[in-house]
A and B are shown apart, each in its own frame.
Chain A
Amino acid sequence: MPGLSNTIRELRAARSMTQQQLADSIGVTRQTVIAIEGDKYSPSLEVAFRIAQVFDEPLESVFQYRDARPASKRGK
């Protein structure tokens, strides 16, 4: 899927963490965690950093961005 994707589900599973536990630790609702995991909602930079901090991982290993625009339209 183009745009923002993430590995939150895998990171959470590796730590046996529930969606509710993650939601509580980053200060959002469980529904928001579900939406982020399903790539339906792109979190703010602040929430993204909080998620990375919870997993003690760099931001780019939690979130990946794929530019869906054609190469001719991308910035130099």
Chain B
Amino acid sequence: MSSLSYQEKSLYGALIADLAVFVPYLHFIHQRQPPLNAIITAVTILIVANIVLQSVIAALTRNRLTDERDRLIRLRGYRAGYFTVVGLMLLGMAMLWVHTSLGQMQPSHMALHFLSVFYAILILAEVVKTVTQLVAYRRAI
């Protein structure tokens, strides 16, 4: 762990927080309809977990220097995350539209489903972004 740079430690922290909140959330919504407070709770826990983890990592890391390679890797990650959001958003919208037009979903439930799907897409994009950056660091691009 000591051989990792501050950015890598920070990315591992973010990935752990994302997965620790999102996997139980997915398990929860797989069993029942996602109530609004489940989404709000998941978002809140994720924000708090990220703040705590990043604070601990920053406190334990002496050298927090960021250079041009870090910025390049960050851009690569954001690009991967952006394409994930766009791709999954189109897929999610198409699925919502199909379910609604087939009468499998009441229009009153659509907003909540959209919110749930939107949250899932954002988390997946975040995971793709983080993994892309970690791979770039490991391959020393």
Contacts and interface: CB of A to CB of B under 8 A. Distances in A.
Contacts of B108: none
A5 interface: no
B140 A27 contact: no
A28 B5 CA distance: 11
Dominant SS among interface residues on chain B: loop
Interface residues of A, number: 14
Interface string B54-68: 000000000101111
Q: Report which residue of B65, B66, B67, B141 has the largest number of chain A beta carbons within 10 angstroms of its beta carbon.
A: B67
Contact of B137 (A28, A31, A44, A47): A31
A27 B65 CA distance: 8
B67 A41 contact: no
Interface stretch (A10-18, A32-40, A51-59, A62-70): A32-40
Contacts of B5: 29-31
B30 interface: no
Contacts of B140: 31, 34-35, 38, 40-41
Contacts of B68: 28, 32, 43-44, 47
Interface of A: 27-32, 34-35, 38, 40-41, 43-44, 47
**Cβ-closest 6 pairs across A and B:** A28-B67, A35-B140, A40-B140, A32-B69, A31-B5, A32-B67
12 contacts: A27-B65, A27-B67, A29-B5, A29-B63, A29-B65, A29-B66, A31-B69, A32-B70, A40-B139, A41-B69, A43-B68, A47-B68
